[in-house]
Amino acid sequence: MRALYKATAGPGFEFVERPEPEAGAGEVKIRVLRTGLCGTDLHIESWDAWAQSEIRTPLIPGHEFYGEVVALGPGVHDVKVGDRVSGEGHIVCGTCRNCRAGRRQMCIRMLSVGVHRDGAFADYVVIPESNVWVHGADIEPDVGAIFDPFGNAVHTTLAFPLAGEDVLITGAGPIGLLAAAVARHVGARFLVATDVSPARLELARRMGVDLALDVRTTRIAEAQQQLGMREGFDIGLEMSGHPTALPEMIANMNHGGRIAMLGLPSQPITVDWAKVVSHMLTIKGIYGREMYETWYAMSAMLASSATLRQAVSAVITDRFAAPDWAKAFDTARSGSTGKVVLDWSA
């Protein structure tokens, strides 16, 4: 099969032929049709400090995908050959305290597809049946390929009730854009997104935000004035990981405001903890998706709203054939696009 492959430690990938994987007990073999590019994949390709500490080669990366089930290992009961599917990329142990309590997204022994085991940047991928998500016929392949990051957005956005609330999203990358679409769908009142990329800010406007701010030229406090807000934001969704984003968000929250934080900081952040205490703010870390409540919520929302389906699809701005992977990575790394998808179906 064709695969993007990192044979040894170091920058880059090779587009090569590799043996097809076979489904073992309890596993499902999937013919990959589409894959999404993630920041994690960019880290692995460039072989930065995080990749050097986390990745063991050889490895086929890739964890965002949509495909068709072609073979079942012994003991598979519910998934069927021919099902169109995506996959939950976090594989859990099933026996730690959190797993046994039904909090599988908090597993202490979690392994990631495309990070700790071969992933989906290939014609075929094998994952446990318990990680397979079967789609309805109404899900387009491109949208199915980004259910993983869409799940990050849904998990973060629904961390706190936000119907009728004023919501601030810092970071209008693909997940921030998806969060904006979900927040509008759920019924946020004022919705403000920030970034430094004009292209991404324009995409945020298409998602239906009330204001899309370039924080190089406009402060968030000015957005409150423009919208006639009197008491600050009720909900904050921090998607950027930039060291200035969380402090600026805290400075613009209402008393009792709640912050869901998905963006991974690249360096230490100085926080005004006195304000966190005196304003009784809540800060909640978010990682991945709830297994599998987030997946049910994603499918239900898309099934119930053509508007949301269109918005999610609009986040995908660039598509490439799999052999053109290098161009796709350059495009994703530019920081000025929405989601980038690779087509493996040819």
Active-site positions?
40, 43
Encoded tokens for 92: 């859990």
Q: List C-alpha distances in Å: 307 to 64, 183, 185, 313, 340.
A: 23, 13, 8, 10, 21
What does the alpha-carbon distance between residue 114 and residue 102 come to, in Å, rounded to a whole number?
24
Nearest C-alpha neighbor of 52 from the set 15, 11, 89: 11
What does the alpha-carbon distance between residue 191 and residue 207 come to, in Å, rounded to a whole number?
10
277-312 in b/e form (b: 16+ CB < 10 A) is eebebebeebebbbbbebbebbbebbeeeeebbebb
Encoded tokens for 25: 């007990």
Query: What does the DSSP assignment read for 177-241?
Result: HHHHHHHHHHT-SSEEEEES-HHHHHHHHHTT-SEEEETTT--HHHHHHHHT-SS-EEEEEE-S-
Is there a contact between 179 and 249 (Cβ–Cβ < 8 Å)?
Answer: no
Angle at the Cα of 287 from the Cα atoms of 285 and 291, rounded to 5 degrees: 125
Is there a contact between 127 and 76 (Cβ–Cβ < 8 Å)?
Answer: no
Is there a contact between 34 and 343 (Cβ–Cβ < 8 Å)?
Answer: yes
What does the alpha-carbon distance between residue 65 and residue 147 come to, in Å, rounded to a whole number?
8
Residue 28 DSSP SS3: strand
